[in-house]
Homo-oligomer: A and B are copies of this chain.
Amino acid sequence: MGSNAMLTQMMTDRTPPLPPVTRPVRKLPQANQYAFMTQIDTMGAAMPFARNAEIYGENERADYLYKVLRGSVRTYKLLADGRRQIGGFYLPGDIFGLEGGDHHTFSAEAVVDSRVLVVKRSSVMGLAGRDAEIASQLWSVTARELQRTQGHIMLLVKTARERVAGFLLEMANRQPAQNEINLLMPRQDIADYLGLTIETVSRTLTQLEQDEAIAVPKSRHILVRNRGALSRMNS
Knowing A100-B146, A143-B99, the reply to whether A87 touches B153 (Cβ < 8 A) is yes
Q: Which of B29, B135, B154 contacts A77 (CB 8 A)?
A: B154
Range for the number of chain A residues in contact with chain B: 35 or more
A140–B100 CB distance below 8 A: yes
State the CA gap A195–B153 with chains docked (Å): 10
- Taking the closest CB of chain B, its distance from the CB of A178, in whole angstroms, is 21
Is A218 on the interface with B (CB-CB < 8 A)?
no
Let me know if B132 and A130 touch, CB within 8 A. yes
Is A80 engaged at the interface, CB distance under 8 Å to the other chain?
yes
A106 at the interface (CB under 8 A from B): yes
Q: Is A52 an interface residue (CB 8 A)?
A: no
- Taking the full assembly, how many copies of this chain does it contain? 2
Residues of B within 8 A of A105 (CB): 147, 150
Q: Which of B130, B135, B157 contacts A139 (CB 8 A)?
A: B135
Contacts of A24 in B (CB 8 A): none
Q: How far is the CA of A149 from the CA of B154 in the complex (A)?
A: 11
* Cβ of A72 under 8 Å from chain B: no
Whether A138 is near chain B, meaning CB under 8 Å from some CB there, is yes
Q: Is A83 an interface residue (CB 8 A)?
A: yes
Q: Is the CB of A157 within 8 A of B83?
A: yes
Cross-chain contact A106 with B150 (CB below 8 angstroms):
yes
Q: Is A207 an interface residue (CB 8 A)?
A: no
Q: Measured between C-beta atoms, what is the minimum distance from A88 to chain B in Å? A: 9
Interface positions, chain A 60-91, Cβ under 8 Å from B, are 77, 79-80, 83, 85, 87
Q: Which residue of B lies closest to A135 (CB)?
A: B135
CB-CB under 8 A from A29, the residues of chain B are 100-101
A86 to chain B, nearest CB (A): 10
Specify which chain B residues have a CB less than 8 angstroms from the CB of A156 in the assembled complex. 153, 156-157, 195
A162 closest partner in B (C-beta): B79
- Give, as a whole number of angstroms, the nearest-CB distance from A197 to chain B: 12
Which residue numbers of A lie inside 8 Å of B, CB to CB?
29, 77, 79-80, 83, 85, 87, 98-101, 105-106, 125, 128-130, 132, 135-136, 138-140, 142-147, 149-150, 152-154, 156-158, 195, 235
